[in-house]
Structure 1
């Protein structure tokens, strides 16, 4: 086993200039097993950190060996083709052989066809931890076998300074009117469900060090997948799809209730959530949409008959875990494309819900509620839904847009939906506040 930390006491990195590499470049990729260098998120540099972690395991990365930016309705297919060409021509020495070793790209995709940019990034360095094993992957663009990365300790993450919060595209009253309009359309028979988003603006007195909220989210929401890709960061409770050696899994969340802070009362709230006809109806729509989307790609599938209640620090959700056996060569990214947008983030029927969102939401979601995650050279990977997240302002790195969304059905009450959106904004607000 290679001791990554043998030469220096702290594992971190000072980034060199970023290089964007054309598809024809002679990429050489090497993965080696290493001794534990410390918590994954402690390894991240301040500049453009990339992460996908849960309960201390996962992968982190930095530097850009190559990237692919795309827009439009074919963004998933073009990115998938680019990735297949990249790994198809790369020279790979993988001494570990786990999902997430060898070449790995981090990605995040826009919710809608237009506007919004989507991207895949192949880092220069990736460090991973899974099942007690640690590894480092390095990518060379010169055609030579890469060695261990140069390391130099970065300063500790800086707490955001004097953060203030303000309404984004709409204030609470305006958003309640939008919800009421959606309920009216549903009652008129135009559709069964639509998911509406809210945004909020956070401003700091200085540049926001993304590592601070990333680490706070991971500490406070260990059951979620903490992510950071190209300025989009958050902690999502919803795994859109995982593809791992022929097994396909997905976690569906729909139906939410805010926690009270009292354990006994929360148990009663969980029981009421599990019996709520409104929430069960919303959840059934979401599960059905995922199962129908995955069916063409699986030879068999297990769909539980009833959901369970997922307890998070701020809210509780109705949740269902689906599993299937892959029947074709679709990659994890290809499966994510087939699933997006599920009823959990779009609505039912999908086409009618997307049209209503475009008509009445009056909000550029960007990559909010789009797929975020990673893919490796074998096509395995994990893609979550970018929920409970924030996007760094590309023109002003002291500003971030925070997002939350709520599923609207016939029985939805605008005031209650506003309260639910406030609860869903809590994780990012708290992560930036302290």
Structure 2
């Protein structure tokens, strides 16, 4: 669906989430969308509007399931700023931790169910990513930009995003997705295409020597190397038809965030056809095995069976301009803030392969939830 948006009211401040429907902070620059000209719940409609010139830019979020509504808008203007976002670091309301869904025991049971599937004689599934969520409650309204400022400040690369989700339909009206993703789904500059998939992780340690050994152990882990290779192979298959050349290292390197070590592989290439936009590329590669599994269809079916609808968690957030350039991040290390600003639902997942241990996988989700919890100033 495409719909024309009503112009923003004059009394809405520049810092209002409704007047700033999209912010993406990256170490090399920040993109801020101001106002809304049109909105789209169909990625196809947004891509067509961009291609035929009706849309000067597209910003927003793609859902985990490509068949579900997107939250995409054409802004009144798209501003590019140097460096990471420098938002106001304001006081947060008191945050209380609520229930997890599923419970820790239920998540372990889901991982065990996935392992039975992976080990079954007629199985074709190689990997599936299973996630859980944690609900938090704010005593007063939590401003999305307040959480964004803290996430950007806590991230060594200044990564962070805030996306209004109302374009996806009435059920999403007033809601925001806020996070600090370290993973580039796709980036396009002219005919240059790049991405940096992350798969395989281990928790950081406070002791430097122990932390170093943990990173080295991850780099040598057969289980994690296999999990990472599945992601890289899928991206190669998706990008090869669209690129004249692809540069993919033979082995991953270590990437670190404040909470996790990751295996990462920088991928770069050259577009065959300059009419293919960053949004087109995002659609072509999403969802990768890093957030879904492989084969994709089999993994999506099992996720739907075990988890239900993920909404915009493990989707993609980003922007594309009239030249087709843009950047889309994987929608992880994030939380959904409800329309009242008092309920926050954070998500975290982990890739399950045949060699996975259910309790290790549970611990990984707890570590990943630490990004949002640290931003909110609460302990897990």
Shorter-chain TM-score bucket reads 0.7 to 0.9
Point out the structure with max Rg over C-alpha: 1
1:197 is matched with which residue? 131
State the Cα deviation string for residues 346-373 of structure 1 (Å, max 9, x = none).
Answer: 1111111111111122x42101111110
TM-score normalized by structure 1?
A: 0.77
Which of residues 148, 164, 170 is equivalent to 2:102? Answer: 170
Gaps of 5+ in 1: 1-18, 23-42, 71-75, 91-102, 133-154
Tell me whether 1:20 sits opposite 2:1 in the alignment.
no
1:60 is matched with which residue? 32
Q: Measure the CA separation in 1 of the matches of 2:187 and 2:267.
A: 10
Contact kept in structure 2, 1:240 and 1:371, CA below 8 Å: yes
| Residue 181 of structure 1, CA deviation | 0.5
CA gap 1:222/1:281 in 2 versus in 1, 3 angstroms: same
1:372 is matched with which residue? 317
Contact kept in structure 2, 1:44 and 1:211, CA below 8 Å: no
CA gap 1:236/1:267 in 2 versus in 1, 3 angstroms: same
Q: Measure the CA separation in 1 of the matches of 2:14 and 2:197.
A: 30
| Residue 311 of structure 1, CA deviation | 1.3
1:343 is matched with which residue? 289
CA gap 1:267/1:177 in 2 versus in 1, 3 angstroms: same
Which of residues 192, 217, 225 is equivalent to 2:159? Answer: 225
2:240 is matched with which residue? 295
TM-score normalized by structure 2?
A: 0.88
Q: Measure the CA separation in 2 of the matches of 1:157 and 1:269.
A: 33
Q: Spell out structure 1 runs of 4+ moving beyond 3 A.
A: 155-158
Q: Measure the CA separation in 2 of the matches of 1:237 and 1:417.
A: 20
Q: Measure the CA separation in 1 of the matches of 2:263 and 2:57.
A: 32
- Tell me the secondary structure at the aligned position of residue 374 of structure 2: helix
- Tell me the secondary structure at the aligned position of residue 236 of structure 1: coil
- Tell me the secondary structure at the aligned position of residue 266 of structure 2: strand
Gaps of 5+ in 2: 8-12, 165-175
Which of residues 334, 339, 342 is equivalent to 1:398? Answer: 342
| Residue 291 of structure 1, CA deviation | 0.9
